Structure 1
Amino acid sequence: MLDNPNSDYRILTLADLPAYLAGLPDIAAMLGGGTADWRCEDVADGNLNSVFLVDGPAGGLCVKQALPYVRVAGESWPMDVRRAFFEVSYARRMAPFVGSLAPAIHHFDAAQFIIVMEKLAPHIILRSALIAGAHHPRVPVDVADYIAAASFHTSDLAAPFETKAADQALFAGNIGLQRISVDLVFTDPYVIHERNRVTVPLAGWAAAFRADIDLKEAVTRARLAYLTHAQSLLHGDLHSGSIMVTATETRVIDGEFALIGPSGFDIGNFIAHYVMAWFAKPFHGSGPAETARFRDLLAADILVFWQRFEAQFLAHWRGFAGAADGLPASHFADPVAAARAETMRRSYVADLFRDAVMFMACKIIRRVLGFAQIADFLVIPDEVVRAQAQAAALAFARSVLLHPARYGDIAAVVAAMPRFEGAGLDPAPTRLL
């Protein structure tokens, strides 16, 4: 069995599922009735795992198993099943800080790497909502609250350094998933690689990025930040496909990429997917008026998200009264020192923003030129038309990386996006924008 740490591991099939759950009395009780009363469905649509939904007379559950390979690639791409352990460890670490913004974990099978968790219904994947033009104004607020709580409370700002050191020791074992990020985000899009998904109309953009040493220098700075800035516990893959929503609820799922890293990574990833949704929207057949209306909502959501994150992160920090090694209260007790501490807080958040914008750009490039591209673009049936939308996103991302001083606040980021519409399939004219 590929990358399997024990000989008892077996891939769970839909046919096996009822008997497996019946062997877990507490879980069976949550479903109610017996196996004949349960309705099981295979709903896997991600890249890595098996996912099943089970409904019984008393309720429903979600069952997720880590496969020993990348599901969408097959056994040719082995993957460590222990990622499920890190997903559960991340969820348990986050629970005190994020509460109902994540699904409840009911059971973890450490031999089969199966997670049984709360079934989210009638929630839908945020990406599907964005493509359909369904606006969920709670999402940017809720996700900002989630990241602010996580990135503060798992950092040296909120605990003795020994606490984060323990997290580092644990999540350092999640190297298989971290390798995916290093390769897919920071390496593959800038070389010729079999995993890349470059269409013929975008070949010029891909070649230009491979040849652009200034761009690769900027990406290297982002890569080094990802590898060396051990600020807080990250979700590691927080995008519109790892968020489920209703009109009143937001849930963050799929924390298997968890690592100790730069807090701006999760922030930038979330923003990147709203930016890509914005660039893709005119090609979803909504009509000019509806497209303009929805794009205005997306742009406003990006502003709201960052402003909410900044406010919440600073509120956590200002209100913290515990022991922490990052900024010891004993050094900043008198009024003059307290004012200096506030200056340091704002400087810290400004650094997070700069990191976030840098990672945002890298994530956009990765989702256009690399592996596992996103449906926001892929639903556009005409390859040339799709490439026009993708090229605009690439031009914007390149500008962010090459000219970071132009993007000093979130308003500047949002205001710049329309400038890159119609960038076209020739990458040269927009390089200085």
Structure 2
Amino acid sequence: MSSEQGSVAGPPQDEYRILHEADLRDYLAAVPAVAARLGGAAEAWSIGEVGDGNLNLVFIVKGADGGVAVKQALPYVRLVGESWPLPLSRSHYEYLALTHQARLVPGLVPAVLHHNEGLALVVMELIEPHIIMRKGLIAGALYPRFVGDIATFMARTLFFSSDLALTAAKKKEGIAAFAGNHALCKITEDLIFTDPYRVAEQNRWTQPWLDATAAAFREDLDLHAAISRLKLIFLNAPEALIHGDLHTGSIMVTEDSTVVIDPEFAFYGPMGFDIGAVIANLLMAYLASAGHETSSGARRVFEVWLLETIENVWTEFSHEFLELWRTEGHGDAYPLTLFPGPAGAARLEVERQAYMARLFGDTVGFSAAKIIRRILGLAHNADFELIEDPRQRAICEARSLRLARAMMLEPSAFPTIGAVTMAARMVRDWLPDFAN
């Protein structure tokens, strides 16, 4: 069955098949809204497959008048191949998430132009001249609008899908709508919360320098207990509709614009997972920076900006989230009738601060988990992978693992975001044994 935004009629073909260039051209030509956006004759459109992610096909299509991005889910994990099948339904959940986010944060996500559930295909506006944020950070670019934009994205998408804003019935309807996305959740449960801490066929790391560290993580029972506590939260805390994969590879930027893409992992889960993912990827960018230096200190301004950005992401998110709670907190949680008068308002504010402290603790833990999986698990970050000298890469990764382990095992040592950035700054020049 074909569905899309607005009243645009879809073409009749909806039985799943992998669309290659010729098929895609014919298909898009039969979608009036898309054909009109592209303009000109269909045979003159340029079509290029640009997907560099782990799961899907992504095409950029350009015509005389404009362009679109086309994303089609494959029936398997692209990174691995047909030996790892994956439901096509993830495309439908991505569509649901994108349209939900567009209502809450218009301009911070790509507009959906067409959706065909049978083909597991979504056509979106082409985001230009943006680049993937991770690529810009590797190059040492600064993005002054990013903090405000990502704080707004997270505050609004998380708050307005939570019990703080919704009735219990509405929240349960939302949970039910995304409950079928469990195959994508299972990927997270295995690749982030389990595999890096055991022998798993698809694990990899920078050898031989990180062999001892990887072995130590597999034997560290305290770490296993800590990651299992985080996994339990992930499994058991449907706090809000989360993006589920909010890293710097899922964010497109210019100096004055930010657009969040790829919410196919969306489901109702713990808020700290999204916030922690953003902070983890900024921390990795910071600790990978030394590996991209052309000379000592050449990236100092960039690194100072990154640390400030990490601090400001949490600070501005927290501020916006709390303001939404104070002004839009009409959900079934914390009913205002239980907190009457000035004394009640003051007591509720104390509770809000305690809530944010708990949320920050979750954020720190999930951030640590995301760092560890990107170094010892299956899918790695280009921040590290593009460091040409493998020994230098391993040094940067060892520093990140040292920080992540402390964040996971010693949460009381990280009561504030400033404590996190201070620890990152201290580990920036630490040398592992193999570097001496």
TM-score by length of 1: 0.95
Quickly say closer, same or farther: Cα 1:15–1:424, change in 2 above 3 A. Answer: farther
- Tell me the distance in 2 between the aligned counterparts of 1:40 and 1:8: 22
Higher mean displacement: 391-400 or 290-299: 290-299
- Tell me the distance in 2 between the aligned counterparts of 1:22 and 1:29: 9
> What residue is the counterpart of 1:277 in the other structure?
285
- What amino acid does structure 2 have at the position aligned with 1:222? L
> What residue is the counterpart of 2:218 in the other structure?
210
> What residue is the counterpart of 1:358 in the other structure?
365
Alignment pair present for 1:28 and 2:30: no
- What amino acid does structure 2 have at the position aligned with 1:364? I
- Tell me the distance in 2 between the aligned counterparts of 1:349 and 1:223: 20
Cα deviation, residue 91, structure 1: 1.1
Gaps of 5+ in 2: 1-12
- What amino acid does structure 1 have at the position aligned with 2:47? C
> What residue is the counterpart of 1:87 in the other structure?
94
SS across alignment from 2:115: strand
Alignment pair present for 1:150 and 2:187: no
- Tell me the distance in 1 between the aligned counterparts of 2:33 and 2:109: 21
> What residue is the counterpart of 1:315 in the other structure?
323
- Tell me the distance in 1 between the aligned counterparts of 2:35 and 2:227: 49
- Tell me the distance in 1 between the aligned counterparts of 2:240 and 2:355: 13
Higher mean displacement: 329-338 or 130-139: 329-338
Cα deviation, residue 290, structure 1: 2.5
* Candidates 400, 409, 414, aligned match of 1:393: 400
- What amino acid does structure 2 have at the position aligned with 1:411? G
- Residue by residue over 1:302-358, the C-alpha shift from the partner in whole angstroms, topping out at 9 and shown as x without a partner, is 01111100100001111116x410111211231111111111111111111000000
* Candidates 401, 405, 411, aligned match of 2:412: 405
Alignment pair present for 1:381 and 2:388: yes
- Residue by residue over 1:346-393, the C-alpha shift from the partner in whole angstroms, topping out at 9 and shown as x without a partner, is 111111100000000000000000011000000111222111110000
Quickly say closer, same or farther: Cα 1:178–1:426, change in 2 above 3 A. Answer: farther
> What residue is the counterpart of 1:183 in the other structure?
190
Contact 1:60 1:119 in 2 (8 A): yes
- Tell me the distance in 1 between the aligned counterparts of 2:337 and 2:294: 57
> What residue is the counterpart of 1:55 in the other structure?
62
Contact 2:144 2:256 in 1 (8 A): no
SS across alignment from 2:69: strand
> What residue is the counterpart of 2:6 in the other structure?
none
> What residue is the counterpart of 2:263 in the other structure?
255
> What residue is the counterpart of 2:112 in the other structure?
105
Contact 1:264 1:355 in 2 (8 A): yes
Contact 2:104 2:157 in 1 (8 A): yes
Contact 1:201 1:425 in 2 (8 A): no
> What residue is the counterpart of 1:229 in the other structure?
237
- Tell me the distance in 2 between the aligned counterparts of 1:294 and 1:49: 32
> What residue is the counterpart of 1:337 in the other structure?
344
> What residue is the counterpart of 1:293 in the other structure?
301
Contact 1:244 1:253 in 2 (8 A): yes
Contact 2:14 2:119 in 1 (8 A): no
> What residue is the counterpart of 2:313 in the other structure?
305
Tell me which stretches of 4 or more aligned residues in structure 1 moved more than 3 Å: 421-427
- Residue by residue over 1:16-57, the C-alpha shift from the partner in whole angstroms, topping out at 9 and shown as x without a partner, is 221110111121111111212211111111110000011111
- Residue by residue over 1:162-193, the C-alpha shift from the partner in whole angstroms, topping out at 9 and shown as x without a partner, is 11101111111001100000000000000111
SS across alignment from 1:200: coil
Contact 1:105 1:118 in 2 (8 A): yes
Contact 1:204 1:425 in 2 (8 A): no
Higher mean displacement: 334-343 or 324-333: 324-333
SS across alignment from 1:186: coil
Cα deviation, residue 286, structure 1: 3.5
Quickly say closer, same or farther: Cα 1:394–1:164, change in 2 above 3 A. Answer: same
TM-score by length of 2: 0.94
SS across alignment from 1:100: coil
- Tell me the distance in 1 between the aligned counterparts of 2:416 and 2:174: 31
* Candidates 127, 139, 144, aligned match of 2:146: 139
- What amino acid does structure 2 have at the position aligned with 1:22? A
Superposition RMSD in Å? 1.5
Equivalent positions of 1:153-172 (< 5 A) are 153-172=160-179
- Tell me the distance in 1 between the aligned counterparts of 2:352 and 2:43: 58
- What amino acid does structure 2 have at the position aligned with 1:13? H
- Tell me the distance in 2 between the aligned counterparts of 1:369 and 1:286: 27
- Tell me the distance in 2 between the aligned counterparts of 1:423 and 1:187: 28
- Residue by residue over 1:248-297, the C-alpha shift from the partner in whole angstroms, topping out at 9 and shown as x without a partner, is 11000000000101100000000000000111001103322322111101
Quickly say closer, same or farther: Cα 1:137–1:264, change in 2 above 3 A. Answer: same
- Tell me the distance in 1 between the aligned counterparts of 2:334 and 2:99: 26
SS across alignment from 2:60: strand
Alignment pair present for 1:18 and 2:37: no
- Residue by residue over 1:72-120, the C-alpha shift from the partner in whole angstroms, topping out at 9 and shown as x without a partner, is 2111111111100000011112222111110100110011010000100
Gaps of 5+ in 1: 1-5, 428-433
- Tell me the distance in 2 between the aligned counterparts of 1:298 and 1:255: 24
Cα deviation, residue 124, structure 1: 0.1
> What residue is the counterpart of 1:264 in the other structure?
272
- Residue by residue over 1:133-169, the C-alpha shift from the partner in whole angstroms, topping out at 9 and shown as x without a partner, is 1110211221111001111100000010111101111
Contact 1:235 1:259 in 2 (8 A): yes
Alignment pair present for 1:371 and 2:392: no
Cα deviation, residue 422, structure 1: 4.8
- What amino acid does structure 2 have at the position aligned with 1:316? L
